[in-house]
Amino acid sequence: QVQLVDSGGGLVQAGWSLILSCAASGRIFSINIMAWYRQAPGKQRELVASMPSGGNTNYGDSVKGRFTISRDNAKNTVYLQMNSLKPEDTAVYFCHMVIHTIGGLTNYWGRGTQVTVSS
């Protein structure tokens, strides 16, 4: 059984920074994609950033230049450094991983961590 535990959210003022982390545990062979999504109230879940194991990173247009995704493969962990936060960044942030286990490639999601940015 694989589990993702995401953390690091909180309440901050506009212009501040936060770093989110998400660690995967269980019988993991490898992790293909690590990513962050977010969902604001009344809106659809949207991609924030993704990082394939051997490819280019991808960012949502609204966070380019402010957010940075990184991964530590030895720790099965993905991070999201969020700088210059804006009120419109307020959302629940979910980590997502495509993980190779004994059962094959499977999508896994964290439970989500709330980020609230006040103006």
Rounded to the nearest integer, the mean pLDDT of the chain is 96
Alpha-carbon span 81 to 100, nearest angstrom: 26
State mean pLDDT over 99-105: 94
Query: Residue with structure tokens 């966070």?
Result: 63
DSSP 8-state assignment for residue 88: G
Query: Residue with structure tokens 């993905």?
Result: 78
- The model's pLDDT over 35-90, given as tens digits with 9 standing for 90+, comes to 999 999 999 999 999 999 987 899 999 999 999 999 999 999 999 999 999 999 99
